[in-house]
Amino acid sequence: MGEASPLTAGPNRLRQGYGGPPKRSAEAEGPAFHPTESGLPSPKGPGLHVDVERRFASGFHLSAAIDVELAAGSILVLFGPSGAGKTTVLRQIAGLERPDAGAIRFDDEVWCDVARAVWRAPQERRIGLVFQEPTLFPHLTVRDNMQYGVRPGSDPVEEIAKLLGVADLGDRYPRELSGGEARRVALARALAPRPRLLLLDEPFAALDMPTRARLRRDVRGLLHRMATPAILVTHDRVEALAMGDAVVVMIGGRVRQSGSIGDVFSHPADADVAASLGVEAVVPARVLSASRGVLEVAVGAVVLQVAERDPLAPGTDVYACIRAEDVTLGTQLSTHASTRNHLAARVVSITAEGPVDRVSLDCGFALDALITHRSREELNLTPGVQVTAAIKATNVHLVPRF
Amino acid sequence: MDYSALWLSVRLAATTTLVLLAIGIPIAYWIVFSTWRGKFLVEAIVALPLVLPPTVLGFYVLLAIGPLSPVGRAYARLAGHGLPFTFEGLVIASVLYSMPFAVQPFSAEFASVDRRLLEASWSLGVSRLETFRRVVLPLSVRGLVTGIVLSFAHTLGEFGVVLMVGGNLPGVTRTVSISIYDAVQSLDYAAASRTSLLLLIASFVILASTYSLQRSVWVKPRH
């Protein structure tokens, strides 16, 4: 077990401050982005309080309560399957829909309070909004689109346009843009009036993977730079892991769990949440080195070997995802076959899940293994026993955190 | 050909169209964006001239602007003469008669503007009225042009309402369609056919150019 390095994994390590992304080293910082010194506690941000109810004619009943502090530049992910009510909550926060009952407060302002008949129009909330489709004004040039919400003469948008790489597109019309460019312009338009909160409703869903990855990185960087907090609606776990600092899991119109990304993904509150998040263990890690198609990744003091699917530079912060089905248990350190990772582990608990047993392990970080009853008996597993957990390098999936 | 009747009809159509542009846009805006449940009543009233016989409409307008109504009496006191059988009276009647031809294309176009564009505008801090001016109106050019052209063409050829409200005073209320009717009544088929042909060609050219314009009216990409 390692000493306390900044990345040491373990039950406590996963409990990151709300809104605190995995800390990165100074070298890993981009040059202009991330003005907040890493390692320092993130500045206290405005609070968002949502407690809303809405009944739809379809019978769908939304009843969601969210109470979070949105640190400057942090991203809160509203995560859940389609039809969970995420977008409705986002639209209520934006002021585009009204709840039947409840209240929404941001910072020291009441945006909506049905009981007291308080209502602030979207114009008065100073938010930025980006939909799944870019919804640029088709009759205006890119420049006029970006200037749209900015009073003439104030707040030049050039800086934001430059940071998003769309400064050269000013004279074009929206129909002349690619999908990725249009999203960037939509983001620039939303951020130009310096909103206090950016709302993103699956803004990258329709884009191809490489474009999406670049946009995620740029948006995170820009939000940090502008110190603007954001709420991101998504049902894509990779997007949630890549962009989120904190997550609120919604299922069937209810908030089922909320907390830091690491906490929620590694400790789902119940089976529904686990199913919606995916069945993998998710642990924060950092790339140490890359050679001949194998990445060495530090998870706390433990080093995992991972097949390199996408090139990742040493120093990159990642989430390592490992499915319980892919973890093999043995009683002694073996070097057989092609399995590259053999971790010394202690059995923490064993729970029966139908025909198989879920064995929770502590191997420097929390990890689950699914094995048959028979294997459990043959290995003589009980809590406290030392075992070896084997994971193939190809079974560890990395989600980079830019 | 009765040029004074032709000129009168063009003046009437132009004035009516301008008035409809001024009051049709707010009415269409209200019809599209009001959340009042009873707004279908207003829509029905606006559409009435489509199905009502022009004589019926003309009859009620005549009553409404005549000396028997408070409105007519008030106007007569201010202007020194009554509204019936005047150009102003004709304008009022024509505006009512052609209203659906302006308001319906306007409102159809306003309603077809992607609602998310409006929401994007609101979230950028722009008021509803400003959003209408900066987003909805420029995106509704087609509907505005259609409404303008239809109102103009419809007013140009109106007959029954004009006859009821304006009568047949040469140079004042004798419009081109009444002049045609007069020519036929006096068996002057040559004059009737000349004027009719002119009206037919004018209407066709106006409509044809509108439809062709609609295909390319929107901002073309610059390359």
Confidence of residue B106 (pLDDT cuts 50, 70, 90): very high
Last residue within a domain, chosen from A278, A311, A327: A278
Of A148-162, A227-241, A311-325, B197-211, the least confident: A148-162
- pLDDT, position A68: 92
Indicate yes or no: CB of B117 within 8 angstroms of CB of A126.
no
- pLDDT, position A334: 60
Q: Do A122 and A200 fall within a single domain?
A: yes
Q: Do A92 and A201 fall within a single domain?
A: yes
Q: Report how far residue B134's alpha carbon sits from residue B126's, in angstroms, rounded to the nearest whole number.
A: 9
For testing contact with chain A, the best of B123, B136, B140, B141 (most A CBs within 10 A) = B123
Residue A79 has pLDDT above 90, yes or no: yes
Under 8 Å CB pairs connecting chains A and B tally to: 64
Q: Report how far residue A76's alpha carbon sits from residue A58's, in angstroms, rounded to the nearest whole number.
A: 29
Please give the DSSP secondary-structure letter assigned to residue B51. T
- pLDDT, position A6: 36
Q: Do A291 and A259 fall within a single domain?
A: no
Confidence of residue A336 (pLDDT cuts 50, 70, 90): low
Q: Report how far residue B216's alpha carbon sits from residue B141's, in angstroms, rounded to the nearest whole number.
A: 11
Q: Report how far residue A243's alpha carbon sits from residue A146's, in angstroms, rounded to the nearest whole number.
A: 24
- Decide: A53 and A100 in contact? Cβ < 8 Å: yes
Indicate yes or no: CB of B123 within 8 angstroms of CB of A127.
yes
Joined tokens for residue A334 = 């073996």
A31 vs B23: which has the higher pLDDT: B23
Q: Do A216 and A119 fall within a single domain?
A: yes
- CA nearest A402: which of A34, A45, A8? A34
- pLDDT, position A279: 67
- Residue in chain B lying closest to A135 (CA): B117
Q: Is A362 exposed, middle or buried (0-12, 13-18, 19+ CB in 10 A)?
A: middle
Confidence of residue A1 (pLDDT cuts 50, 70, 90): very low
Q: Looking at the domain assignment, is residue A360 inside a domain?
A: yes
Q: Which residues of chain B neighbour A149 with C-beta distances below 8 Å?
A: 121, 124-126
CB atoms within 10 A of CB B201: 10
Confidence of residue A43 (pLDDT cuts 50, 70, 90): low
Confidence of residue A283 (pLDDT cuts 50, 70, 90): confident
Q: Looking at the domain assignment, is residue A368 inside a domain?
A: yes
- pLDDT, position A130: 95
Confidence of residue B71 (pLDDT cuts 50, 70, 90): confident
A3 vs B185: which has the higher pLDDT: B185
Mean pLDDT score across all residues of chain B = 89
Beta bridge partners of A352: A357
The 3-class SS string of chain A reads CCCCCCCCCCCCCCCCCCCCCCCCCCCCCCCCCCCCCCCCCCCCCCEEEEEEEEECCCCCEEEEEEEEECCCCCEEEEECCCCCCHHHHHHHHHCCCCCCEEEEEECCEEEEECCCCEECCHHHCCEEEECCCCCCCCCCCHHHHHHCCCCCCCCCCHHHHHHCCCHHHCCCCHHHCCHHHHHHHHHHHHHCCCCCEEEEECCCCCCCHHHHHHHHHHHHHHHHHHCCCEEEEECCHHHHHHHCCEEEEEECCEEEEEEEHHHHHHCCCCHHHHHHHCCEEEEEEEEEEEECCEEEEEECCEEEEEECCCCCCCCCEEEEEEEHHHCEEECCCCCCCCCCEEEEEEEEEEEEECCEEEEEEECCCEEEEEEEHHHHHHHCCCCCCEEEEEECHHHEEEEEEC
Q: Report how far residue A98's alpha carbon sits from residue A106's, in angstroms, rounded to the nearest whole number.
A: 16
Joined tokens for residue A113 = 């309070």
Indicate yes or no: CB of A175 within 8 angstroms of CB of B221.
yes
Joined tokens for residue B159 = 């007959």
Q: Do A257 and A293 fall within a single domain?
A: no
For testing contact with chain B, the best of A139, A141, A151 (most B CBs within 10 A) = A139
- Decide: A174 and B218 in contact? Cβ < 8 Å: no
Distance from CA of A128 to the nearest CA of B (A): 6
Q: Looking at the domain assignment, is residue A41 inside a domain?
A: no
Q: Is A154 on the interface with B (CB under 8 A)?
A: no
- pLDDT, position A335: 58
Q: Report how far residue B27's alpha carbon sits from residue A247's, in angstroms, rounded to the nearest whole number.
A: 46
Residue with tokens 């430059």: A162
Q: Is B125 on the interface with A (CB under 8 A)?
A: yes
B22 vs B175: which has the higher pLDDT: B22
Q: Is A73 on the interface with B (CB under 8 A)?
A: no
Please give the average per-residue pLDDT across A113-139, as a whole number.
94
Q: Do A258 and A286 fall within a single domain?
A: no
Q: Do A68 and A202 fall within a single domain?
A: yes
Q: Looking at the domain assignment, is residue A6 inside a domain?
A: no
Angle at B195 between CA B193 and CA B197, to 5 degrees: 65
CATH code: domain of residue A217: 3.40.50.300
CB atoms within 10 A of CB B223: 4
pLDDT above 90: percentage of residues in chain A: 51
Residue with tokens 């979207």: A122
Residues 6 or more apart whose Cβ sits within 8 Å of residue A194 = A155, A226, A228
Beta bridge partners of A289: A296
Beta bridge partners of A307: A294
Which whole-number Å values give the CA distances from A183 to A76, A86, B58, in the listed order? 20, 20, 55
A136 vs A290: which has the higher pLDDT: A136
- Decide: B154 and B95 in contact? Cβ < 8 Å: no
Residue with tokens 């991972």: A306
Q: Report how far residue B161's alpha carbon sits from residue B110's, in angstroms, rounded to the nearest whole number.
A: 29
- Residue in chain A lying closest to B116 (CA): A135
Q: Which residues of chain B neighbour A173 with C-beta distances below 8 Å?
A: 219, 221-222
Q: Do A395 and A247 fall within a single domain?
A: no
Indicate yes or no: CB of B122 within 8 angstroms of CB of A126.
no
- pLDDT, position A227: 92
Q: Which residues of chain A neighbour B120 with C-beta distances below 8 Å?
A: 129, 131, 135, 137, 189
Confidence of residue B109 (pLDDT cuts 50, 70, 90): very high
Indicate yes or no: CB of A189 within 8 angstroms of CB of B218.
no
Q: Do A220 and A286 fall within a single domain?
A: no
What is the CA A276 to chain-centroid distance, rounded? Answer: 14
Confidence of residue A18 (pLDDT cuts 50, 70, 90): very low
Q: Max alpha carbon distance in chain B (Å)? A: 67
- CA nearest A139: which of B52, B77, B26, B117? B117
Of A8-17, A109-118, A287-296, the least confident: A8-17
Q: Do A122 and A246 fall within a single domain?
A: yes
Q: Spell out the domains of chain B, with CATH numbers in brackets.
A: 3-33+84-214 (1.10.3720.10)
Residue A209 has pLDDT above 50, yes or no: yes
Query: How many domains, in total, are found in chain A?
Result: 2
Distance from CA of B117 to the nearest CA of A (A): 6
Mean pLDDT score across all residues of chain A = 84
Q: Report how far residue A227's alpha carbon sits from residue B168's, in angstroms, rounded to the nearest whole number.
A: 74
Distance from CA of B214 to the nearest CA of A (A): 15
Q: Do A92 and A208 fall within a single domain?
A: yes
Joined tokens for residue A259 = 């907390």
Q: Looking at the domain assignment, is residue A10 inside a domain?
A: no
Strands A127-130 vs A47-55: parallel, antiparallel or unpaired: unpaired
CATH code: domain of residue A354: 2.40.50.100
- Among candidates A129, A139, A171 on the partner chain, residue whose Cβ is nearest the Cβ of B219: A139
- Decide: A302 and A365 in contact? Cβ < 8 Å: yes
Residue A60 has pLDDT above 50, yes or no: yes
Q: Report how far residue A345's alpha carbon sits from residue A351's, in angstroms, rounded to the nearest whole number.
A: 17
- Decide: A40 and A64 in contact? Cβ < 8 Å: no
Last residue within a domain, chosen from A261, A278, A295: A278
- pLDDT, position A321: 87
Residue numbers of the domain that contains A353: 282-401
ipTM of the complex: 0.82
* CA atoms within 13 A of residue A78's CA, in its CB half-sphere: 30
pLDDT above 70: percentage of residues in chain A: 86
Q: Looking at the domain assignment, is residue A19 inside a domain?
A: no
Beta bridge partners of A318: A285, A400
Residue A338 has pLDDT above 80, yes or no: no
Q: Report how far residue B152's alpha carbon sits from residue B18's, in angstroms, rounded to the nearest whole number.
A: 9
Confidence of residue B78 (pLDDT cuts 50, 70, 90): confident
Angle at A341 between CA A335 and CA A346, to 5 degrees: 95
Residue A370 has pLDDT above 60, yes or no: yes
B196 vs A42: which has the higher pLDDT: B196
Indicate yes or no: CB of A128 within 8 angstroms of CB of B123.
yes
- pLDDT, position A58: 92
Buried b (16+ CB within 10 A) or exposed e, A198-217: bbbbbbbeebeeebbbbbbb
Compute the CA torsion angle B39, B44, B45, B48 (nearest 10 deg).
170
Q: Looking at the domain assignment, is residue A28 inside a domain?
A: no
Q: Is A170 on the interface with B (CB under 8 A)?
A: no
- Among candidates A94, A138, A171 on the partner chain, residue whose Cβ is nearest the Cβ of B123: A94
Q: Looking at the domain assignment, is residue A177 inside a domain?
A: no
- CA nearest A70: which of A188, A197, A203, A225? A197
Residue A357 has pLDDT above 50, yes or no: yes
A358 vs B168: which has the higher pLDDT: A358
Last residue within a domain, chosen from A218, A253, A278: A278
Q: Do A242 and A310 fall within a single domain?
A: no
Residue B205 has pLDDT above 80, yes or no: yes
- Decide: A246 and A76 in contact? Cβ < 8 Å: yes
